[in-house]
């Protein structure tokens, strides 16, 4: 798809969409590249929203992923501030919110996700630059914040707010935050960090609605709050694809090449694809995956047809903890601590799913400590080759 190709449309002015556009150009595509985004600005980085932007360490002008000169060099037909509203795969046309159309020869869907909401009164969420700036103005000494949801986003926002002197209450329905992803023992360690920094962490708490004075709990009681941040997960932005014939199931369903249909590929948070390395379908909401899958989708659209089989990577900064993880930790069967100490919040944990090593997570460890494990995950190392090198679980059970 080079030379006089009718062009490629990328729906999503995101990290994934930008990576796809750059890869198309590097790979020799000289036709039109149309990039469509519902926000009125060029692609920008989202991980700093809950940390550097929320804390005020960064100004918003540090967020753009590329300079205007770099974007100009790509020769994009940039249509910002317009959302995709429909797809006609027969006519190969994307319909836009302003009534215009974008015809394509190849299409990359990179529309990302949006925050889940709770019933009731409006509450803050944290997905866009505007979201972060609106919340930032509500934080500081003498201010109060309730965060609903102690996943990675809620935990990062709680940590940032607490560091600014905000009185933070963190509400989580699970008995142990993040246990489903990192294991109970690791989850308890991360939870203790909030308590040690003065956050009022309450687990086993279900919030049913937001009210003007705070949040209502399942038992009918009220947790008063000056400001409420809802961080209870996200929904893939796929509504515009209804009736298109694409398979939609918690994302755009793609094969191992990130293909959703002939000439249509998915990338980033919105894409659910079959990762052959782990032999499972997954949808990954991490910045690194967005860029890598955007590149892979672009190459495969141009005919490379290489399976997209990454070892996923994510990181999180909370208080003085630098958390890094490689692999697919969800649904794991066992966790073992390979190095360090859980109580000291300086350790490396490895994860087993079935008969294979499938993940590694480090807290407070140097980056090089995870590299051998990353390589072992990428080569599908059997667990029986790993287990003899590991100490027994400190709790006598699979964490």
CA-based end-to-end distance of the chain = 49
**Per-residue model confidence (pLDDT) at position 395:** 44
**Rounded Cα gap, residues 298 and 29, in angstroms:** 10
The residue extents of the domains of the chain are 8-114+234-301, 124-230, 320-389
For 131-150, the DSSP string reads HHHHHHTT-STT-EEEEE--
**Sites in the chain below the pLDDT cut of 50:** 2-5, 395-399
**Per-residue model confidence (pLDDT) at position 392:** 78
**Per-residue model confidence (pLDDT) at position 391:** 87
Q: Are 176 and 187 in contact (CB under 8 A)?
A: yes
Class of domain 8-114+234-301: alpha beta
Fold match, 8-114+234-301 / 124-230: yes
**Per-residue model confidence (pLDDT) at position 6:** 59
**Rounded Cα gap, residues 273 and 256, in angstroms:** 6
DSSP 393: P
Fold exhibited by the domain 320-389: Enolase-like; domain 1 (3.30.390)
The pair phi, psi for residue 188, each rounded to 5°, is -65, -40
Pinpoint the alpha helices (H) of 225-286. Answer: none
**Rounded Cα gap, residues 394 and 353, in angstroms:** 19
Architecture of domain 124-230: 3-Layer(bba) Sandwich (3.50)
pTM: 0.95
Give the distance from CA 326 to its chain's centroid: 14
**Per-residue model confidence (pLDDT) at position 2:** 43
Say how many residues make up the chain.
399
């Amino acid at each position: 798809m080079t030379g006089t190709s009718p062009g490629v449309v990328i729906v999503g002015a995101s990290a994934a969409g930008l990576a796809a556009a750059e890869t198309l150009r590097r790979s020799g595509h000289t036709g039109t590249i149309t990039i469509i985004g519902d926000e009125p600005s060029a692609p920008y980085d989202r991980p700093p929203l809950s940390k550097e932007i929320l804390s005020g360490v960064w100004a918003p002008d540090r967020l753009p992923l590329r300079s205007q000169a770099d974007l100009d060099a790509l020769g994009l037909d940039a249509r910002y501030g317009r959302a995709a509203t429909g797809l006609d795969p027969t006519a190969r046309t994307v319909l836009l919110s302003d009534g215009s159309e974008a015809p394509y020869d190849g299409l990359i869907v990179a529309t990302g996700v949006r925050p889940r909401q709770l019933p009731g009164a409006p509450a803050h969420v944290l997905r866009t630059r505007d979201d972060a700036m609106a919340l930032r103005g509500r934080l500081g000494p003498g201010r109060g914040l309730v965060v609903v949801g102690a996943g990675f986003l809620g935990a990062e926002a709680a940590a940032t707010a607490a560091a600014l002197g905000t009185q933070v209450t963190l509400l989580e329905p699970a008995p142990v935050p993040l246990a489903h992803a990192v294991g109970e023992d690791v989850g308890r360690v991360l939870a203790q960090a909030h308590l040690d920094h003065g956050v009022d962490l309450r687990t086993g708490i279900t919030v049913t609605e937001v009210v003007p004075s705070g949040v209502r709990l399942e038992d009918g009681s009220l947790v008063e709050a000056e400001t409420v941040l809802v961080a209870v997960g996200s929904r893939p932005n796929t509504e515009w694809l209804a009736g298109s014939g694409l398979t939609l199931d918690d994302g755009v369903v793609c094969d191992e090449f990130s293909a959703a249909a002939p000439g249509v590929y998915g990338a980033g948070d919105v894409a659910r694809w079959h990762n052959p390395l782990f032999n499972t379908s997954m949808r990954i909401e991490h910045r690194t995956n967005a860029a890598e899958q955007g590149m892979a989708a672009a190459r495969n659209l141009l005919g490379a047809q290489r399976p997209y089989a990454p070892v996923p990577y994510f990181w999180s900064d909370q208080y003085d903890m630098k958390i890094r993880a490689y692999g697919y930790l969800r649904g794991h069967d066992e966790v073992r601590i390979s190095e360090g100490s859980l109580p000291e919040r300086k350790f490396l944990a490895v994860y087993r799913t079935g008969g294979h090593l499938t993940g590694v997570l480090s807290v407070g460890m140097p980056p090089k400590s995870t590299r051998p494990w990353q390589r072992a995950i990428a080569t599908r190392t059997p667990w029986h080759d790993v287990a003899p090198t590991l100490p027994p679980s400190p709790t006598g059970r699979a964490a």
